[in-house]
Amino acid sequence: MTINGSTEQQTDTRDLDTAASETTPADPKAHNSAATNEAKRKAEDPADAESKDADTRARTGRPRSVSLSLRSLVIGVVIVLLIAAVATLGWLYIGARDQLHAQAVQSANDSHAEKIALDYAVNAATMDYKDLQTWKVKLVQGTSPELNNKLTAAGTSMEQVLVPLQWSSSARPLVAKVRSNTGGIYVIDCFVSVDTKTIQSPDPLQSTATYSTTIDSNNNWLITDVGGIGSALQSK
């Protein structure tokens, strides 16, 4: 009995020692060593560590978090605002440039129409009864076919008055101004100073002749209508 009791007591003692060894926590030094080795591995190979971390996240099902700093957000907003400002300035520049170009073209066209009208008025008011053919040629110069026919007939009729009066006149341009422009059809008022001599007034008489000239810029800038031809014959 005594032997058996001793044996049982020794067996119980071994069982207790085994259980104690199984529940004894791992050596802290060993755990710290493993953590240190893992940190060294990540420091030596960041890409491999990141890859393994990604695999770990994929296995655990946790989504990868993305952090956006306030500085990056501010920079993004500033870039967007700069792009918008540049686009707005570009649009305003193009609009202003087109407007200035249109104004320059319009001003050039007005000046061209005024010059055509004033040159015509000077030629129409300059005549010499000794050479009325030259005057009649200039009277229809630069006119449309329809107006050419009307002025040719008017010149022939006026010739019957100019020759008996021995009319001789010279003209100087004063001013021309566009009165209206509708779809490229210009109406210009012209004023010329006329010095006239006749058989009745051998000394030159000064007068101002007024012409209203219509020019079609869409038809090679031809003169389509003229008013005031008769005013050049009004001596004072």
Whole-number Å distance between alpha carbons of 81 and 18: 74
Q: What is the mean pLDDT of residues 104-112?
A: 94
What crossing angle do the helices spanning 132-140 and 145-165 adopt, rounded to 10°? 160
Residue 181 has what DSSP assignment? E
Alpha carbon 205 to chain centroid, angstroms: 55
Q: What is the mean pLDDT of residues 218-225?
A: 96
Q: What is the mean pLDDT of residues 138-146?
A: 95
Helix (H) / strand (E) containing 129: none
Higher pLDDT, 7 or 176: 176
Phi, then psi, of 110 in degrees rounded to 5: -60, -45
Q: Is the pLDDT of residue 149 over 80?
A: yes
Q: What is the mean pLDDT of residues 79-101?
A: 85
Q: What is the mean pLDDT of residues 11-16?
A: 46
Alpha carbon 225 to chain centroid, angstroms: 37
Confidence of residue 89 (pLDDT cuts 50, 70, 90): confident
CB 213 within 8 A of CB 223: yes
Q: Is the pLDDT of residue 104 over 60?
A: yes
Indicate yes or no: pTM above 0.85: no
Q: Write down the pLDDT at residue 140.
A: 95
Q: Write down the pLDDT at residue 5.
A: 45
Q: Write down the pLDDT at residue 101.
A: 82
Q: Write down the pLDDT at residue 45.
A: 52
Confidence of residue 51 (pLDDT cuts 50, 70, 90): low
Higher pLDDT, 102 or 148: 148
Q: Write down the pLDDT at residue 11.
A: 44
